[in-house]
Amino acid sequence: MELSDVINQRRSVRKFKETLVEENKIKEILNSARLAPSAKNRQPWRFYYCSVREKDKIAEMMRNWHDNNANNHTSLLGTSVAIKQAPVLILVFRKIETQWERSDILSIGGAIENMLLTATNLGLGSLWIADTWYIKEEISNFLNINLELYSAVCIGYADEIPKEISRKSLTDIMLN
């Protein structure tokens, strides 16, 4: 696909088919993250590919958190449903340290965007997830990973055609 088509066609997918994702496609997605630019070339990202059991447990932990804090963060429930349905969940961690945090987060964002675009190019749906933030310590403890969880990405074959979410016009976002 042309790059412009990939960028235009990428959507957040929240409904997935049961079809498993080919291992070579997952590798290609992770490799595209590896190739992203990073501040000072720190490559601050670390990825964890969840087993189905781990993925489903994380979805359950998010649902429980939602049920106990329902008034505040209702998007957690929808996100947990998407995680449960998606065949693949990849967690994105960063070393626990305050130095370079701002630039590391920007770098991690770039790596995740590479993953989403590569998934689209491979005919896969994906969802960038920040809702894992609410239970990030719980997830790190559960997996015994001594790193800070910044995001997650679920991937699979889309079982929906997500509607296009509106964007501000160029005039709206340009300052000059």
Ligand X SMILES: Cc1cc2nc3c(=O)[nH]c(=O)nc-3n(C[C@H](O)[C@H](O)[C@H](O)COP(=O)(O)O)c2cc1C
Contact set with ligand X (CB under 6 A): 11-12, 14, 75, 78-79, 127-131, 162, 165
What three-state secondary structure class fits 165? Answer: coil
Q: How far is the CB of 154 from ligand X (least distance, A)?
A: 9
Q: How far is the CB of 2 from ligand X (least distance, A)?
A: 18
Nearer to ligand X, 12 or 69 (CB): 12
Nearer to ligand X, 23 or 173 (CB): 173
Q: Is 113 in contact with 106 (CB distance < 8 Å)? A: no
Q: How far is the CB of 113 from ligand X (least distance, A)?
A: 8
Tokens of 110: 């770039």
Nearer to ligand X, 130 or 145 (CB): 130
For residue 150, how many C-alpha atoms fall within 13 Å in the half-sphere facing its CB? 22
Q: How far is the CB of 176 from ligand X (least distance, A)?
A: 25
Q: Is 38 in contact with 111 (CB distance < 8 Å)? A: yes
**In the chain, at which residue ranges do the beta strands (DSSP E only) sit?**
45-49, 88-94, 125-129, 148-156
Q: Is 153 in contact with 116 (CB distance < 8 Å)? A: yes
Nearer to ligand X, 26 or 158 (CB): 158
